[in-house]
C-alpha cells in the first residue's frame, strides 16, 4: 500500500503552496535566479515563511526593514554574502541566518549522517511539525538546498518503507496542483538503493529530467515548545 505524509503547515492553492501558520495564509515558494548560489537562503526563507516567522509579501520590501529589528539584521546578514550569493552558503551560514529568529522561537538543528539516518530524520521532522531543509549534491563541487514538504513510501504488514522525498525547490517555478515541485527518489519499495555508487538517489523536477544525487545534510527548523 502506498502512503504519503506531508507537512501540516502547508496547504495547496491555485497560486502555489501556502502556510497556515499565519492568520492570513501566505505563499511559501520563492524562486531563485538560475545563475546564483542562493538556494540555501531561499530554502531557509521558505522554511521561515512556513513557520510564520516571515511573510512572503513582506520580503519584497526587505529594503524598508528597520536595521535594528531581527528582520533588518537578517537582511543585512544576507547582504554580506553578496547580491547573487555566487559562491553559495555553508550550513554554518544558514544556521547563523536562522539564528536571527531565535526570538520568534525558531530553533535550527543540523543533522549529519548516512542516507538512512537522514531519511529517518526527515520522517521525524515531518511527524514533529518541524521544517526540513535537505542538501543534495550531484558532484563534489555541486550542491543544492531544497525544503522537504513530505515523503511517500510503501507499507507492507505494518512496516513503512520510505521511497521518495517530496520537495519544494527554489530553482523551479511554484507548483500549482501540489505542495512540491521536485522529488528525490531514495529507495525502491524493497528498501534497496535506486542506483549504485555514491550518488544513489534520483532527483527530478518539473522538467522531468532525472539526475543521480546524494543526500548530504539536513537542517531542521522547529518552533520552541
DSSP conformation letters of 14-30: TTS-EESSSSS-EE---
Domain locations in the chain? 2-223
The pLDDT-based confidence of 155 (bands split at 50, 70, 90) is very high
pLDDT above 90 (res 104)? no
- pLDDT-derived band at 62 (thresholds 50, 70, 90) equals low
Q: Measuring CA to CA, which residue among 160, 111, 109, 157 is closest to residue 5? A: 160
Centre a 10 Å sphere on the Cβ of residue 70 and count the other Cβ atoms it contains: 16
CATH 3.90.70 assigned to 2-223: yes
Alpha-carbon distances, residue 170 vs 40, 79, 173, 220 (angstroms): 9, 19, 7, 17
- Residue that wins the pLDDT comparison between 17 and 31: 17
Distance CA 84, CA 164 (A): 31
Indicate the pLDDT class of residue 21, thresholds 50, 70 and 90. Answer: confident
Q: Is the pLDDT of residue 99 over 90?
A: no
- With cut-offs at 50, 70 and 90, classify the pLDDT of residue 38: confident
pLDDT of 89 above 50: yes
Say what the alpha-carbon torsion angle 160, 161, 163, 167 is, to the nearest 10 degrees. Answer: 50
Q: Rounded to the nearest 5 degrees, what angle is found at the Cα of 138, between the Cα atoms of 179 and 164?
A: 35
- Is the entire prediction scored with pTM above 0.85? yes
34 vs 206, higher pLDDT: 206
Q: Where does the pLDDT of residue 96 fall: very low under 50, low under 70, confident under 90, or very high at 90 and above? A: confident
Residue 220 has pLDDT above 70, yes or no: yes
- How much is the pLDDT for 94? 87
What percentage of residues in the chain have a pLDDT greater than 70? 84
Secondary structure (H, E, C), 35-93: CCCCHHHHHHHHHHHHCCCCCHHHHCCHHHCCCCCHHHHHHHHHHHCCCCCCCCCCHHH
Amino acid at each position: 500500500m502506498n502512503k504519503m505524509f506531508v507537512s501540516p503547515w502547508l496547504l495547496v492553492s491555485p497560486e502555489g503552496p501556502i502556510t497556515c501558520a499565519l492568520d492570513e495564509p501566505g505563499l511559501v515558494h520563492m524562486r531563485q535566479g538560475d545563475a546564483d548560489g542562493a538556494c540555501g537562503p531561499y530554502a531557509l526563507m521558505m522554511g521561515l515563511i512556513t513557520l510564520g516567522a516571515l511573510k512572503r509579501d513582506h520580503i519584497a520590501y526587505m529594503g524598508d526593514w528597520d536595521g535594528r529589528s531581527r528582520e533588518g539584521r537578517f537582511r543585512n546578514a544576507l547582504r554580506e554574502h553578496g547580491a547573487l550569493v555566487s559562491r553559495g552558503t555553508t550550513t554554518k551560514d544558514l544556521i547563523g541566518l536562522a539564528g536571527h529568529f531565535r526570538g520568534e522561537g525558531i530553533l535550527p538543528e543540523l543533522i549529519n549522517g548516512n542516507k538512512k539516518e537522514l531519511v529517518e530524520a526527515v520522517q521525524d521532522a515531518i511527524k514533529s511539525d518541524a521544517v526540513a531543509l535537505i542538501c543534495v549534491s550531484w558532484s563534489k563541487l555541486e550542491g543544492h538546498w531544497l525544503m522537504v514538504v513530505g515523503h511517500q513510501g510503501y507499507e507492507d504488514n505494518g512496516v513503512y518503507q520510505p521511497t521518495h522525498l517530496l520537495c519544494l525547490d527554489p530553482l523551479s517555478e511554484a507548483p500549482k496542483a501540489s505542495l512540491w515541485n521536485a522529488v528525490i527518489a531514495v529507495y525502491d519499495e524493497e528498501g534497496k538503493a535506486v542506483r549504485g555508487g555514491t550518488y544513489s538517489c534520483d532527483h527530478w523536477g518539473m522538467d522531468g529530467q532525472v539526475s543521480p544525487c546524494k543526500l548530504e545534510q539536513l537542517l531542521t527548523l522547529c518552533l520552541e515548545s
